[in-house]
Amino acid sequence: MGNALNCDICGREIGGQAFRIEVEGAKMLVCHVCQKLGKPYEEEHVPSYQPQRQTRSPSAPHTPMPLGKRKVELPREMAQVDLVDDVAQRVRVARAKLGLSQEDLAKRVKEKLSVIQKIEIGKINPDIRLCRELEHELKIKLLVPPTETEDVPKGPPPSEVTLGDIIKIKDKTKSKE
């Protein structure tokens, strides 16, 4: 697979020059055939916000970080765990087994009582930090390695839906009426 661009309207591969047009406020990259459907626009450069970093020595001169796209990666522990489905039940049962009140548990995990109550009724799911605290205090497992479903058919990947496809779908529904 190459780095071929597809037209945002018709979905065709853009062989030659790609055109930037605006159609009803939407900015698109299109082929030469679809360029007449909108008016051309120029891409304006908006500088991205870069927070200043603290240096060890306040007298050291500040050298700005180079601008550009940086790859953002999740911490390994966040990317490799899933939350179990029955969090509310597990927390409630384990707390009761240990003879703790919701208030006691909230104090032990440094969280508000209302948060523990909402977790136990299934209204909210705890974040990773709170899951780790609950696992430690209640001696239960809430975070598990991600599981891959084997039920998923292994066929060709789904194709992208373009505006042209949506227009065709709408046209088909109008003709049936």
Does the predicted model carry a pTM greater than 0.75? no
Q: Show the tokens assigned to 43.
A: 């891409």
- What pLDDT digit, counting tens, does each position of 95-147 carry? 999 999 999 999 999 999 999 999 999 999 998 899 999 999 999 999 888 77
Asked whether residue 14 is assigned to any structural domain, the reply reads: yes
Per-residue burial over 118-138, b if 16 or more Cβ lie within 10 Å, else e, is: ebbeeeeebeeebbbbbbebb
Query: How many domains are there within the chain?
Result: 2
Question: Would you state the torsion angle of the CA atoms of residues 101, 107, 111, 114, taken in this order, to the nearest 10 degrees?
Answer: 40
Identify the pLDDT of residue 176.
57
Asked whether residue 111 is assigned to any structural domain, the reply reads: yes
Is residue 61 over pLDDT 60? no
Asked whether residue 8 is assigned to any structural domain, the reply reads: yes
Are 37 and 93 within one domain? no
Asked whether residue 122 is assigned to any structural domain, the reply reads: yes
Q: Across the strands, what pairs with 6?
A: 13
Instruction: Please report which residue ranges of the chain form alpha helices under DSSP H.
Output: 76-79, 87-97, 102-108, 113-120, 128-138, 163-176
Asked whether residue 19 is assigned to any structural domain, the reply reads: yes
Asked whether residue 62 is assigned to any structural domain, the reply reads: no
Q: What residue numbers bound the domain in which 5 lies? A: 1-42
When pLDDT is averaged across residues 3-12 and rounded to a whole number, the result is 82
Are 80 and 140 within one domain? yes
DSSP for residue 17: -
Average pLDDT in the chain: 76
CATH of the domain at 109: 1.10.260.40
Asked whether residue 30 is assigned to any structural domain, the reply reads: yes
Are 38 and 81 within one domain? no
Per-residue confidence band for 3, with pLDDT thresholds at 50, 70 and 90: low
Identify the pLDDT of residue 134.
93
Q: Show the tokens assigned to 172.
A: 């088909």
Chain-centroid distance of CA 135 in Å reads: 25
